[in-house]
Amino acid sequence: MIRFFYAPHTCALASHIALVDAGASYESVRIDFRKEEQRKPEYLSVNPKGRVPSLQTERGVLTETPAILAFIAQSFPAANLAPLEDAFAFARVQAFNSYLCSTVHVAHAHRMRGYRWADDPAAIAAMQKKVPTSVAECFGLIDRDMLVGPFVMGESYTICDPYLFTLSQWLDGDGVDIARFPKVHEHRRLIAGRPQVKKALAEEGVGAA
């Protein structure tokens, strides 16, 4: 049995959606950030990073969204969540998800977690002020050069789609008007309407933006 550790309103939603897409059998374990459960020994024994998502499998624990998404796609090939038979196409999927993880999510994190990079309150405030610009630049690139449409990779839904959907839900909070990015805007609307997405959101007790 897979155990999936998540917190609402985090990037864990992407993996949650993918588990539903795959038809996987899993147990959801909610980590309450308000109670700082991510820092308690019980959870740190699962994921020493103290972050979500974590996926506990028979072979061990996986962390980091791109790795978890790839594992789900490869473990449930019948769900067709990635072009597994085409090495180049699968690498493109991985490249897109890596960009979301290493660049887009980090740009967003400067709004609430500037303490990861600086101690000076003025420096943290400067990071927060920059977020609407840096996040918008990321989504401008995605809208212009990376999102093929209607899904990220074109006609086929892949593990890129729940991940982009998850991060695009944060745009309003980051002070960015999604209407500036028509392809991303339409993508969010399209993905939000999927029954699998509605199920994952309902399990987490939240709604789509």
DSSP assignment of 36-82? TGGGSHHHHTT-TT--S-EEEETTEEEESHHHHHHHHHHH-GGG--S
Same domain assignment for residues 70 and 100: no
In a domain, 27, yes or no: yes
Q: Give me the pLDDT at residue 114, please.
A: 87
pLDDT tens track, the chain, 209 positions = 899 999 999 999 999 999 999 999 999 999 999 999 999 999 999 999 999 999 999 999 999 999 999 999 999 999 999 999 999 999 999 999 999 999 999 999 999 998 899 999 999 999 999 999 999 999 999 999 999 999 999 999 999 999 999 999 999 999 999 999 999 999 999 999 999 999 999 999 886 66
DSSP state of 32: -
Residues 64 and 132 both lie in one domain:
no
26: helix, strand or coil = strand
Between the CA of residue 43 and those of 38, 74, 209, what are the distances in Å? 6, 26, 29
Residue 209's pLDDT is 65
Total number of domains in the chain: 2
Instruction: Report if residue 208 sits inside a domain.
Output: no
Angle between helices 160-168 and 12-22 (to 10 degrees): 140
The domain of 61 spans: 2-80
Q: Are residues 95 and 18 in the same domain?
A: no
Indicate whether 201 belongs to any domain: no
Q: Are residues 94 and 73 in the same domain?
A: no
Q: Are residues 111 and 176 in the same domain?
A: yes
The confidence score (pLDDT) of residue 197 equals 97
